[in-house]
């Protein structure tokens, strides 16, 4: 296959450098008589083809992924497909090997299209892997153990103190973010009726999703079983004799923890097994950083060395909740450690604000680990990632000429726009959270999901008259959009990152 890369004068060198190591397809570079490749038009491309391109006919022409022109007419005229390449020249090396394998788009940049394709392929691969697994057992069809994907168990903390509507809201949120199992936390001093009410509320939301009850109190465990839970946590030597018959009779899963010493976990597992509990999950208990995390990981290692098959419970939330660090990388790393230990359930409550998003992060991480193992690689370049603020690669920094530089200076003072000012914030609407810009004099409230949507509407309604005001609004609306995307607080005229 022969591909012609149509670019501009400024990017010609970068394009040539980017394709130097490409061997999958033959490439030619066509430099148009324009400076910026994104400004390519059918006219500029046609002129460049007529003047400069004398090589054999290409099978495909790629223009900049940032280009907004419609090349369909020229494509029909010359009989060669014209498609969008990547948005940045340095991505050409990754994109070109796919030129023969997938249909590139005249509307979607190639790097974005291939990222979507890789994600779809990853999901298809995951489904196939999970389908082929024979688990240790399943809970309402959710496969546990046997090499199945690590399942995410999300705890609704103190569910027994919450209303049915709040339980529904939290369950919807967790399930939307990828939870496989919902755990109902039981507050200290809870009564059986409160457990019963919480379980019924959860089952009313999704009776096809595994529900667990989280307590050591045997009376409350029994109440949960009677009301229809699918899993209980946690069992110890003290409560096993009192709840084992009910667990065995209802054939539900049970998480077993040690009493005090790590060795007691094996004794408790043996006791539970002897009393007829079939679906056992071992939890050596993961300690927080500062409270013996290394020793607890060693206990996981020793358990797995002794017992290769029993599913393992891994309490990731014990670490993320007690650490003032962004949860994304912490969850990804702990999920990798858990997978290395052949753990089977990742547990998190998302109790503190800083841990919000942990369910989604653990779900993606569990998928990444399964794909990495299947491909016998590190969890990178597999179609899924947890990159949020950092990037896989940095673009080349723009080079500028000193003699043309003008030092930027802040203008002191400000003018009040005769048409009034805006109050900007994040607001809750029926379908989620959005950016809100309220025009103070008219009380008109513009709601949108992006800064551009809101700003375009403000301009269309003629609600501003000063350039300084437009610049200010654009800056604040962009901050609000970033806050929305990153799930951070937003305050007008306040720094987003301090």
Taking residues 431-444, report their average pLDDT.
Answer: 93
Comparing CA positions, the residue from 362, 271, 279 lying closest to residue 314 is 362
For the cut 70, the answer to whether the pLDDT of residue 47 exceeds it is: yes
Residue 154: in which H helix or E strand, if any? strand 151-156
C-alpha dihedral, 223 to 227 to 228 to 229, nearest 10°: -40
DSSP codes, 362-417: HHHHHHHHHHHHHHTS-SSSSS----SSS-SSPPPPPP--GGG-----PPPS----
The pair phi, psi for residue 438, each rounded to 5°, is -100, 120
| pLDDT value of position 155 | 98
H or E element at residue 295: helix 293-306
Q: Which domains does the chain have, with CATH numbers?
A: 2-114 (3.40.50), 133-375 (3.20.20.20), 408-486 (no CATH)
pTM for the whole structure: 0.87
pLDDT in tens, 330-358: 999 999 999 999 999 999 999 999 999 99
Those residues whose C-beta lies under 8 Å from the C-beta of residue 495, and which sit 6 or more positions away, are: none
Mean pLDDT of 5-16: 92
Give the span between the Cα atoms of 191 and 131, in whole angstroms: 41
How far apart CA 100 and CA 102 sit, in angstroms, is 6
Mean of the per-residue pLDDT values of the chain: 93
Q: How many C-beta atoms surround the C-beta of residue 86 within 10 A? A: 23
What pairing do the DSSP bridges indicate for beta strands 181-185 and 151-156?
A: parallel
- Asked if the peptide bond before residue 109 counts as cis, ω within 30 degrees of 0, the response is no
Pairing outcome for strands 445-448 and 432-439: antiparallel
Strand partners, 154: 182, 348
Secondary structure class of 87 (helix, strand, coil)? coil
Token output for 22: 């490409």
Average the pLDDT over each of 276-280, 394-398, 439-443 and give the range with the smallest value.
394-398
What's the pLDDT tens digit per position in 268-307?
Answer: 999 999 999 999 999 999 999 999 999 999 999 999 999 9
**For residue 95, what pLDDT band results from cuts at 50, 70 and 90?**
confident
**Contacts for 49 with CB less than 8 Å, ≥ 6 apart:** 30, 78
Which range (23-37, 234-248, 303-317, 366-380) has the least confidence? 23-37
């Amino acid at each position: 296959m022969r591909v012609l890369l149509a670019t501009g004068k400024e990017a010609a060198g970068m394009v040539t450098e980017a394709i130097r190591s490409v061997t999958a397809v033959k490439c030619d570079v066509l430099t148009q008589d324009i400076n910026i490749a994104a400004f390519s038009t059918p006219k500029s491309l046609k002129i460049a083809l007529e003047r400069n391109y004398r090589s054999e006919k290409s099978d495909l022409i790629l223009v900049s992924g940032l280009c907004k022109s419609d090349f369909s007419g020229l494509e029909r005229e010359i009989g060669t497909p014209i498609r969008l390449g990547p948005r940045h020249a340095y991505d050409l090396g990754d994109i070109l090997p796919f030129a023969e394998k997938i249909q590139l788009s005249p509307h979607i940049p190639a790097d974005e299209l291939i990222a979507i394709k890789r994600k779809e392929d990853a999901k298809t691969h995951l489904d196939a892997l999970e389908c082929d697994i024979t688990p240790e057992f399943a809970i309402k069809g959710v496969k546990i153990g046997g090499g199945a994907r690590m399942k995410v168990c999300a705890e609704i903390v103190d569910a027994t103190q919450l209303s049915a509507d709040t339980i529904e809201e939290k369950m919807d949120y967790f399930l939307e973010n990828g939870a496989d199992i919902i755990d109902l936390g039981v507050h200290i001093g809870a009564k059986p009726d409160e457990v019963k009410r919480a379980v019924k509320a959860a089952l009313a939301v999704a009776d096809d999703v595994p529900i667990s009850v989280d307590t050591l109190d045997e009376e409350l465990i029994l109440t949960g079983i009677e009301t229809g839970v699918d899993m209980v946590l946690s069992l110890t030597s003290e409560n096993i004799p009192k709840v084992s018959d009910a667990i065995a009779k209802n054939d539900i899963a049970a998480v077993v923890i040690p009493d005090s010493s790590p060795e007691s976990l094996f004794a408790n597992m043996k006791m539970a097994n002897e009393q007829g509990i079939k679906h056992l999950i071992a939890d050596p208990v993961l300690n927080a950083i500062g409270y013996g995390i290394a020793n607890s990981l060693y206990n996981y290692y020793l358990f797995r060395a002794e017992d290769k098959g029993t599913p393992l419970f891994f309490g990731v939330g014990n670490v993320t909740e007690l650490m003032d660090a962004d949860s994304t990388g912490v969850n990804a790393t702990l999920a990798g450690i858990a997978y290395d230990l052949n753990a089977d359930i990742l547990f998190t409550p998302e109790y503190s604000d800083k841990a919000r998003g942990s369910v989604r992060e653990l779900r993606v991480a569990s998928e990444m680990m399964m794909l990495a193992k299947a491909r016998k690689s590190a969890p990178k370049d597999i179609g899924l990632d947890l990159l949020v603020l950092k990037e896989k690669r940095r673009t080349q920094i723009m080079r500028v000429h000193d003699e043309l530089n003008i030092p930027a200076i802040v203008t002191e003072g400000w003018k009040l726009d005769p048409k009034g000012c805006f109050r900007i914030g994040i607001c809750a609407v029926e379908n989620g959270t959005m950016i809100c810009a309220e025009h103070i004099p008219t009380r008109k409230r513009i709601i949108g999901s992006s800064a551009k949507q809101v700003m375009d509407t403000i301009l269309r309604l003629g609600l501003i008259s000063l350039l300084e005001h437009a610049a200010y609004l654009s800056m604040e609306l962009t901050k609000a959009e970033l806050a929305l995307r990153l799930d951070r607080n937003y305050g007008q005229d306040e720094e987003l990152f301090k």
